[in-house]
Chain A
């Protein structure tokens, strides 16, 4: 399967990644080389019903969604430009300002 310029640009938009026009042809070539290489997985004897590997302890997969203390060495207020009532204060972003 080959990836064309339009598909690379589409994936780049999904990834929120600006791609320079000057780099595009080389990137298309390299991504195709990688996709062609990993396509050999098609020949592996792993049908749709086969098990998947999940490393780590079973407890890591589903744990209770209970918030705990965050062990920061300095409180959030110490590294925020402005902080009040539990919130970071940031400048309004131009595109989000109302009329």
Chain B
């Protein structure tokens, strides 16, 4: 099949998804798809992703489509340069199909905080697809594209992957270039990948990973090689952190994880209980560190450097900044900027930000001790519940933040992790999370692939 034929079929699926009200896309066009397809068909040597349609979260800059971060602040903005990950996708022959909806500036866990409307869960329109990369997750889950790029700061790919019943991979911090990913929390941000299968996601990761001199946090490390299929999990010790299996865990999630553990044992893995004692501090640490970095990173949206300018009532430059930012940012972004400014301000810096950075080291040290203690991987639930209903948590920010309770410690530590579908509870997908030591992305993907092949992702677990 030619790339032009793939482009036409992809455009038909995108049209159907938009018509169904998924609200997962922010920009795409049939004409752009066909132009891209013609370029791919003329490539002298087909690349490793030749004519594979891939959607891109709209906080990753592209030359041929706007990049809005789902914010009124950047409505209509077109970047003068392209993200390294997008350039690598195009060079590999991929068809960049659409820019996808997200929580504004990637701040959220439900994709309800988009200035352009919430994304619907593909299986139940009354529920959320997770977030912040909910548009990318929904497009993959709905079968519109086989893979998509998202971004993680505190679990924004693994959590929606779990809610939508697909695979979501966060690589080790530094293995995929951040050049062209709009900055939110720079010490946490990580371009990450959704796929229908671990194999699909691994093929995309192989293309976009590897050293990039344009990102000074990029590791001088080779690309993540797609793992050779392993027949089982023999020889692996998998830790079960007791803090991730609380007594009040949702019954469907608990049942899905019990089944995943049984499958892992049947595949030859040895399962042992371990402890990550500072886990309870991960979410509060994240909600100091990430807003502090966000407050600094989003200072550039002032109507002068970036952003839709509004002139304030006093007509001076201060009023211009305040009116531009007050009007351009939505409620969740404003909350985070205010919290970030507060924890960095004189008198509170040591009590909040400096302390959070030290607690972050404790959280990371828990993982290091577990792995040095002889555990190869960790197995946990990805989320405490299946997808929740739209509007259920928007009135209480802390309740929303706790949807990330099992994913954000990994982000604080910079580790690689994957969510794979582990079954369904009352028809809703449940994800299982595997976590690996830093730079052990290949081991992680190989084990996840073996587990995925043995699990029946669509089976009811209770």
Q: Which residues of chain A have a CB within 8 Å of any CB of chain B?
A: 3, 8, 11-20, 23, 27, 30-31, 33-35, 37-42, 44-48, 50-57, 59-60, 63, 71-74, 76, 78-79, 93-96
Contact = CB atoms under 8 A, between A and B. Distances in A.
Given A18-B322, A60-B217, A73-B81, A38 B288 contact: yes
Most buried by A among B82, B342, B396: B342
Contacts of B288: 38, 41
User: Which 5 pairs show the lowest CB-CB distances between chains A and B?
Assistant: A18-B326, A46-B358, A56-B217, A52-B357, A16-B321
Given A35-B342, A38-B288, A41-B281, A57 B187 contact: no
Contacts of A71: 81, 214
Most buried by B among A53, A59, A93: A53
Nearest to B213: A68
B352 A41 contact: yes
B173 A34 contact: no
Given A15-B338, A31-B342, A51 B358 contact: yes
Nearest to B320: A93
Interface of B: 63, 80-82, 173-174, 187-188, 214, 216-220, 278, 280-281, 284-285, 287-288, 295, 299, 302, 312, 315-318, 320-323, 325-327, 329, 331, 334-335, 337-339, 341-343, 345, 350-352, 354-362, 364, 396-398, 401, 412-414
B80 A79 contact: yes
A83 to B, nearest CB: 13
Contacts of B312: 18
Most buried by A among B82, B214, B284, B320: B284
7 contacts: A3-B342, A17-B329, A18-B322, A44-B359, A50-B362, A55-B217, A72-B80
A37 B334 contact: no
B313 to A, nearest CB: 10
B338 A95 contact: no
B81 A15 contact: no
Contact of B335 (A31, A44, A79): A31
Contact of A33 (B325, B329, B397, B412): B397
A38 B325 contact: no
Contacts of A35: 339, 342
B361 A50 contact: yes
Most buried by B among A15, A27, A31: A15
Given A11-B345, A41-B281, A95-B315, A18 B327 contact: yes
Contacts of A27: 334-335, 338
A97 B17 CA distance: 52
B82 A73 contact: yes
B323 A40 contact: no
A54 B413 CA distance: 9
Given A18-B312, A44-B281, 4 more contacts: A44-B355, A55-B187, A93-B320, A94-B315
Contact of A20 (B316, B326, B355): B326
A28 to B, nearest CB: 10
A73 B80 contact: yes
A54 B361 CA distance: 8
Contacts of B358: 44, 46-47, 50-52
A55 B354 contact: no
Nearest to B336: A34
A41 B281 CA distance: 7
A71 B180 CA distance: 11
A88 to B, nearest CB: 11
A33 B398 contact: yes
B36 to A, nearest CB: 16
Given A37-B284, A37-B287, A41-B285, A14 B341 contact: yes
B339 A31 contact: yes
A99 to B, nearest CB: 16
Given A53-B364, A95-B316, A34 B326 contact: no
Contact of A46 (B81, B220, B331, B362): B362
B327 to A, nearest CB: 7
Nearest to A38: B284
B278 A44 contact: yes
Contact of A38 (B187, B287, B295): B287
A7 B398 CA distance: 21
A11 B335 contact: no
Contacts of A46: 355, 358-359, 361-362
A8 to B, nearest CB: 7
A18 B106 CA distance: 21
Nearest to A17: B325
A8 B335 CA distance: 10
Nearest to A55: B414
Nearest to B302: A16
Contact of A37 (B80, B302, B398): B398
A32 to B, nearest CB: 11
Nearest to A18: B326
A11 B326 contact: no
B114 to A, nearest CB: 19
Contacts of A74: 80
B281 A40 contact: yes
